[in-house]
Amino acid sequence: MMRRTDFPSDGQLEQLEQTWADPSGVYGWFMHVDHKSIGRRYLVTAFAFFLIGGVLAALMRLQLSRPDNTFLDPDLYNQIFSTHGTTMMFLFAVPVMQGLGIYFVPLMVGARSIAFPRLVAFSYWMLLFGGIFLYASFLLNAAPDVGWFSYPPLAESLYTPSKRADVWAQLITFTEVGSLAVAVSLITTTLKLRAPGMTLNRLPIFVWAQLVTSFMVLFAMPAVMLASTALILDRLVGTHFFDVEHAGDALLWQHLFWFFGHPEVYIIFIPGTGIVSTIISTFSQRRMFGYLAVVLSLVSTAFMGFGLWVHHMFATGLPQLGESFFTAASIIIAVPTGTQIFCWIATMWSGRVTVRIPMLWILGFFAIFVVGGLTGVMLAAVPLNTQVHDTFFVVAHFHYVLIGGAVFPLFAAFYYWYPKIVGRCLSDRIGASVFGLFFVGFNLTFFPMHVLGLHGMPRRVYTYPAAMGWGNLNLLASVGAAVMACAVLLFVVDAIRALVAGTVAADNPWNAGTLEWATTSPPPNSNFPRLPTVSGREPLWENPPNQPVVVGLRTDARDVLVTHVLDAEPDHRLLFPEPSVWPFLTAIAATILFIWSIFTPWGVVYGAIPVFVTMVGWFWPKSAQEGGTPLWPFAHRTLPRPNEAPAGGVI
């Protein structure tokens, strides 16, 4: 379909590339709106936070490697474990998955751009500033020390009079704003910017996973925003939402937090399954077996994910009948996940499988995630849950689920898509060592924690007495952590090496079937010189040689084809926004507001002024003479007309 001879003339191509280019230079760097540029920033930033969170984990493992250790005092230990959890959930896991979505969803649906590119740029700055804010607080000895769950009354000012709990609550605000905005952009991109012919029934499973996740973000995040805002109000202006002394309720927090917190696990894990489906399909050289079943599994997981939150609260003493419903829901959610696993096995069973580095990580995912899923079913049982809840058994369980279900697929994704993003390949030889070390190190670290939990070791303790007999297994876990650290270090070295010295990647090195491989590696500014159309789920495998392309879009303006939600029939054209520095400035203004409001409620009032000013700048309309969009809906709700070339040309 994308034969070289199909390309438009060099002049048109140049103009198209120019139109979609982000400005260069230092000032231009703050104006980027290209989803590939923002996506790369998301991935690099989130991975950097993964490394920092990993360093914190290593410090904890050092402290716990022997009983009665005094390497860290309890105050620092509590800051470290709280910051580790907060970092991994809010600054790594969610953003890195959204980063993959920002980079690949537009490419996979055959679009020129992500929807609302300035909003996505703004989200990135919020993530970055939120992360800097958290770690600046850490260096100022003001990092959160009440856990990533921040339970009141411990997080109330009576028991945490310092600013540490406020730092946590505002970090939540930063990352929530960012992830909500990205979710909206990904949903709109998926539903309205698909290539003609890509009906919902042909949507790549990775994109389905991102779509489902984004809807989960929309429904889950408001609960924690509400909760963290109420906590800030309790601390800042003396409301009593969670204050038991004044008719507040300590359990209310837990319901709100876990109504978000449990779906959060699936917000991290569902994109992981999308990666698994994509890579298994590619390396089995066949369409995903049971596409419909897999998609329905994703959707039903998302629905059920909202009905499980009480299993984080089984120890609080809720009525037994009520708990039983949540036990049943928590057990039943294993069915859609099991269905996906069986479909993956069937795909490999009936495909032509080659095992390359991404596939190694997927096989590792199978071994580890299945263990985590099975201990998850154990945790759904109330009686067993009350024994192992808040022990190292649970620490083991959720690291098997989250590292198994998200980090293993993520490493698979790094190896799979690195050639597309960078245009060069990671080393196969080093890749095998990275995988081997990580797999062994992971199991050495986390498997013993199951046993420690059963033998009574609670979570979040900064030390333990030698007489408890937990020393040996803890030492083993710490050794495993060192092995994992070596693996990650080796990966980083290889990733940096391959930037300049990796072998040059072909456009479609894995012979994959989805549209991101239909363009060059790395893709041009416009993604596709000619926008593709599709006639199957795996267009590169199934499109006939004479598959038409989209013509009639302007090359001198950011002209985008908008299609219908269900059948992706062309609907109208739309001009997309130009690069702008205003999202960056708005993010700075919002940062000032968020941080100021920790110290005084007036920060919200006066801090709103710069936010308002920057937003006016952001949305200031251009007249049609300046190249702006004429008033909606009177113009540009037209379909491409190849015979009617506007000034500047079309392709």
Partner 1 sequence: MMSSGDAIQSVLTPAGTQASSIHHLWLLMLWVMTVVFILTLGSTAVALMRGTRRTRTGLATPSPRAMTWSVATAVTLTVCVLMGLLIASLWTGRATASLRADSAVAVNVTGHQWWWEIEYEDAVPSRRVRTANELHLPINRPVVIKVTSRDVIHSFWVPSLQGKRDLIPGYTTAIWLQADRPGRFRGQCAEFCGLQHAHMAVDVITESEHEFEGWLDTMRQPGRDPPGPAEQRGRDVFLHARCPGCHAIRGTEAAGQIAPDLTHIASRSTLGAGTLANTPDNLAAWIQDPQHAKPGNQMPPNPLPTEDVHAVVAYLDTLR
Which one among 21, 62, 390, 423 touches partner 1, defined by CB under 8 A?
A: 390
Q: Is residue 341 within the footprint of partner 1 (CB under 8 A)?
A: yes
255 vs 572 by CB, closer to partner 1: 255
List Cβ neighbours of 619 (8 Å cut-off, separation of 6 or more): none
* Segment interacting with partner 1, rule: CB under 8 A, options 36-44, 448-456, 531-539, 606-614: 448-456
Q: Distance between CA atoms of 22 and 37, rounded to whole angstroms? A: 9
H/E/C letters for each residue in 276-289? HHHHHHHHHCCCCC
Helix ranges (H only) for 350-427 are: 357-380, 382-388, 392-402, 408-422
Residue number, 477 or 485, with CB nearest to partner 1: 477
Site residues (CB under 8 A) for partner 1, limited to 463-502: 463-465, 467-470, 472-473, 476
Amino acid at 188: T
Query: Are the beta carbons of 192 and 567 closer than 8 angstroms?
Result: no
Nearer Cβ to partner 1, position 339 or 535?
339
Q: Quick one: which of 11, 238, 322, 338 contacts partner 1 (CB under 8 A)?
A: 338
Q: What is the DSSP letter of 245?
A: G
Q: Residue 18 or 316: which CB sits closer to partner 1?
A: 316
Determine which residue in the list 55, 132, 292, 315 makes contact with partner 1, applying CB under 8 A: 315
Residues 64 and 474 sit within 8 Å (Cβ to Cβ):
yes
Burial of 49 (0-12, 13-18, 19+ CB in 10 A): buried
Q: Which token pair is 649?
A: 């040309």
Report, in Å, the least distance between residue 460 CB and partner 1.
4
Binder among 55, 140, 296, 355 for partner 1 (CB under 8 A): 355
Range 358-377, binding partner 1 (CB under 8 A): 363, 366-367, 370-371, 374-375, 377
Q: How far is Cα 77 from Cα 637, in angstroms, rounded to an integer? A: 58
Position among 6, 14, 73, 569 found at the interface with partner 1 (CB under 8 A):
73
Exactly one of 28, 161, 238, 317 binds partner 1 (CB under 8 A); that residue is 317
Least distance between partner 1 and beta carbon 390 (Å): 4
For the CA atoms of 399, 400, 405, 410, what is the dihedral angle to 10 degrees? Answer: 60
Member of 14, 44, 55, 75 binding partner 1 (CB under 8 A): 75
Residues 255-294 that bind partner 1 (CB under 8 A): 284-285, 289-290, 293
* Minimum distance of partner 1 from residue 238's CB (angstroms): 18
Binding mask 500-539 for partner 1 (x = CB under 8 A): ----------------------------------------
473: which 2 tokens? 């297994």
CA distance 481 to 395: 14
CA distance to 90, 149, 363, 469, 481, per residue, from 82 (Å):
12, 8, 31, 26, 18
Between residues 64 and 302, which has the closer beta carbon with respect to partner 1?
64
Which parts of 133-192 interact with partner 1 (CB under 8 A)? 146-147, 151, 153-154, 159
Residue 601: other Cβ atoms inside 10 A:
12
SS3 391: strand
